[in-house]
Amino acid sequence: MLAATNSKALWYVTRGTGMVSLVLLTLTVALGVAEVARYASPRWPRFVLAAIHKNASLLAVAFLAVHILTAVADSFAPIHLVDILIPFVGSYRPIWLGLGTVAFDLLIALVITSLLRERIGYRAWRVVHWAAYACWPIALMHGLGTGSDTRVRWATLVNVACIVMVVAAVWWRIASTRTATVARRAFATFASAAIALGVIVFMVVEPMRPGWARKAGTPTVIFSAARTPTAPPTTGGQIPIPFSSATRGSIAETGPDSSGRSTVKIDATLPSAGGAQLHVLIRGTALADGGVNMRDGSVRLGVAGAPNLYHGRIVSLDGTNIAASVHNAAGVTLDINMQFVVDQGTQTVGGTVTARQGVSARGN
């Protein structure tokens, strides 16, 4: 249980620090554009913008370091230190993880040369600085390709907001340029808009669609592990009641069909309940951000060779928290509470499942 809790905590920290790093990088790029354009005002003098730009870069590095360390420490995905140093050599989504490595290397070069700007000279610093601006789009594509929250509504809003912020800064820079011709400024404006639109379209038609985890290069062993019991299965058709168990399993969504109906299926193993197997089926109307608005749902709990020892229905659904009431052939009722953590990127679930005798059983 402790190992499962630690893995869950690492997963949350990795996700959070990754998104914060992207926001800080976006701020760094926008402030960098303002510095290049020599923007200043009585309220925001240039030295203040320069200080904020520098501190935002350093803060981005700090969050990125935590993001990397927790990703390596989490044993669920096979990410190693060499994958952080050398791009495109890992086994876990090699292209998309490799982009993150490239972005990290560029960001480190940016920070080091900025700290040593007076020693290396303005010309060398400027060359590295311009090259390092590629860090932001590369980091964005890394997050879209490897992030487990890409399909989640709030993450989509953050990604789009970052894109809009950088494009707006670029447009402002183009509009304030007086040395370029009107034709060149118009071309730059439309080109930046087209690139931004292309990234958003890619996000919608690739990472936000089911099946992206396999397509992105997630090792098949992860999918196999999600379906394999981590403890010997219970024998004799018995499940220890009550129980509280960490869980690991798979989630699959089909639909929507022509009537807008979708089905979500969860298959999970409960190692602390003797390897009991849990099967959840949710049917309802498809939601715009994924998942369904439940119309009805069923739950089965059993063991290897007897998957239907208990069966019943879902009584409440609140996000990824599910409550169900099931019973066996003898009429014994169980109240099951499921608190799932869904990784949309790998189409797996973790979390905790608890079960106790229901009211009718305790009254017998």
Q: What is the pLDDT of residues 125-183, one digit of tens each?
A: 778 777 767 889 999 999 999 877 787 888 899 999 999 999 998 898 888 887 778 88
Q: What is the pLDDT of residues 46-71, one digit of tens each?
A: 777 778 888 888 898 899 999 999 98
Q: Looking at 215, 249, 267, which one is the last position of a domain? A: 215
Last residue of a domain, one of 215, 244, 265: 215
Q: What is the mean pLDDT of residues 206-224?
A: 74
Question: Who wins on pLDDT, 33 or 23?
Answer: 23
Over range 216-231, report the average pLDDT: 57
The mean pLDDT of 110-138, rounded to a whole number, is 81
Pair (249, 101) in one structural domain: no
CA 82-88-90 angle, 5° bins: 50
Please determine, for residue 193, whether its predicted confidence score (pLDDT) is greater than 80: yes
Round the average pLDDT of the chain to a whole number and report it.
Answer: 81
Where residue 289 falls among pLDDT bands split at 50, 70, 90? low
124 and 24 inside one domain = yes
Whole-number pLDDT of residue 222: 59
Per-residue burial over 177-206, b if 16 or more Cβ lie within 10 Å, else e, is: eeeeeeeebeebeeebeeebeebbeebeee
pTM for the model stands at: 0.61
pLDDT at 229: 42
Report how far residue 346's alpha carbon sits from residue 212's, in angstroms, rounded to the nearest whole number: 8
| Residues 69 and 186 reside in one and the same domain | yes
Q: Same domain for 162 and 23?
A: yes
The pLDDT, as a whole number, for residue 228 is 43
Which pLDDT does position 50 carry in this prediction?
79
For residues 92 and 106, what is the distance between their CA atoms, to the nearest angstrom? 21
CB 61 within 8 A of CB 107: yes
Tell whether 211 and 230 lie within a shared domain: no
If one counts the domains in the chain, the total is 2
Q: Which of 215, 246, 265 is the last residue of a domain?
A: 215
Q: Supply the range of the domain harboring residue 71.
A: 2-215
Question: Above 60 in pLDDT, residue 363?
Answer: no
In a shared domain, residues 150 and 297: no
Q: Are 207 and 86 within 8 A, CB to CB?
A: no
Tell me how far apart the alpha carbons of residues 83 and 142 are, in angstroms, rounded to a whole number: 13
Shared domain for 184 and 243, answered yes or no, is no
pLDDT surpasses 70 at 317:
yes
- Are 126 and 49 within one domain? yes
Does 265 share its domain with 343?
yes
Question: What pLDDT was estimated at residue 329?
Answer: 79
Residue 84 has pLDDT above 80, yes or no: yes
* 2, pLDDT greater than 60: no
Burial class (CB within 10 angstroms; exposed 0-12, middle 13-18, buried 19+) of 157: exposed
Tell me the C-alpha distance between 151 and 199, whole Å.
15
Is the CB of residue 282 less than 8 Å from the CB of residue 273?
A: no
Residues 192 and 228 occupy one common structural domain: no
Do residues 198 and 235 share a domain? Answer: no
Q: Are residues 232 and 200 in the same domain?
A: no
